[in-house]
Amino acid sequence: MSVTGLYIHVPFCFSKCDYCGFYSIVPQESYVINRYLDHLKKYIDKWFKLDYISKNIKSIFIGGGNPTMLGLKGIRFLIETIADHLDLEQIEEITIETNPETLSEDIAGYLAEIPQIRLSMGIQRLQNDELILLGRNARINSVIRALDTAFNSFDNISADFILGVPNCPSIASELQKLIEDYPFKHISAYFLSVEENTPLQRKVDDGKLQDPNDIGPEEMFAVAEVLEKHGFEHYEISNYAKPGYRCKHNLGYWNNDDYIGFGPAAVSCINNIRYSEVPCLDKWLNGTSPEKEELSLIDQRNEYLMLHLRLLIEGLDLDVFEKKYGLQKEDFYKNLNRHISSGELIKKDNIICLSNLGMVMANDVISDLFQ
Ligand code: SF4
């Protein structure tokens, strides 16, 4: 098998959001960013000499953190380093994440020249008090400024939102206005989750904030309705796209393709071995080896099942699944039929999909089918 996706983790943010469980730091000096870029170049130069790594890359995702924290000079260095090894014209999709506070006109102008570029902006909420509650740095005026900059330069723009924020009304009607004003091609909308050792967790533990896990799914259905009405397909539990604009890189993950990740906390999966880079910039710079985990056949099976059931339109093709992992134990079919009878799963021509009801309890339904 060959690697089809390249992920680069940029571990820098302008400030830390209260709910954030991703690995990132706020760099105090610019030399920290330079050291990161120099080290990243060494990785890219080393690994991309190997044909099985570089030959079939179809998608690149530069995520974080906030990649536009690298500044124009840093982004140019990173793109040129990649372009030393890959013909960017041949890559089907190149995504770069950004946050409104760091998307300058210079950066947008440079990025817009990259072939097949896709910009993914972290917006999260559309009211200042809600952004403040989440500990976000940007306010609505800088979100709008960044959107104007982005839509002047890019065609393919995605935005991320957070649902289920305690004490906040549904985002659906503001989102409707936003997508009428700005022609996004893709929207991701994830529920707020309480990550360990975050200010959000402390607030929830201290009883200062309602536990987001106790918030119902109504906002998701309202958002889905607005987006579907405006021509978006709900193709994955948390993702919506205009026709032809699904995220190719993430589809690679969901289809179990091999991928390589560079940078602290980045993950690679090659031939069913998962390599996780250390989530610490200093240790990564000092050459700490990635943690290696061989995925057992059961791990592979469970992951395949989970990722395919999250795809709401394609779903899980039972014939393909059984061809890959053999006839399943009796329990699997019993649980499957139980979820079909109770309406959480829908079966059509041997394709199994989550229903609206199933989406609400997707984790429980899917884990019932695990071995
Ligand atoms: S911008 Fe993203 S990565 Fe950075 S702190 Fe906020 S949630 Fe975390």
- Count of beta carbons in the 10 Å neighbourhood of residue 11: 25
Confidence of residue 248 (pLDDT cuts 50, 70, 90): very high
Nearest residue by C-alpha to atom 2 in ligand 1: 65
Kindly give, in sequence order, each residue whose CB lies less than 8 Å from that of residue 246, ignoring residues fewer than 6 positions away: 186, 233, 235, 239
Predicted local distance difference test score (pLDDT) of residue 1: 62
Report residue 259 as tokens.
Answer: 């991928």
- Residue 15: pLDDT above 70? yes
Burial 118-132 (b: 16+ CB within 10 A, else e): bbbbbbbbbeeebbe
Length of the chain: 371
Tokens standing for residue 351 = 């394709």
Q: Which atom of ligand 1 is nearest to the CA of 136?
A: 6
In the chain, count of helices (H) and strands (E)?
16, 15
Strand-pairing partners, residue 157, are 119
Instruction: Find out whether 164 and 192 touch, Cβ atoms under 8 Å.
Output: yes
Cα of 153 vs its chain's centroid, Å: 23
The pLDDT tens digits for 97-152 are 999 999 999 999 999 999 999 999 999 999 999 999 999 999 999 999 999 999 99
26, 66, 132, best to mutate for ligand 1 pocket (most atoms within 8 Å of CB) = 66
The pLDDT tens digits for 164-209 are 999 999 999 999 999 999 999 999 999 999 999 999 999 999 999 9
Q: How many CB atoms lie within 10 A of CB 206?
A: 8
Write down the pTM of the prediction.
0.96
Residue with tokens 């809600």: 130
Q: Using an 8 Å Cβ cutoff, are 259 and 3 in contact?
A: yes
Residue nearest to atom 7 of ligand 1 (CA): 20
The residue whose CA is least distant from atom 8 of ligand 1 is 20
Residue-range domains of the chain with CATH: 3-254 (3.80.30.20), 298-371 (1.10.10)
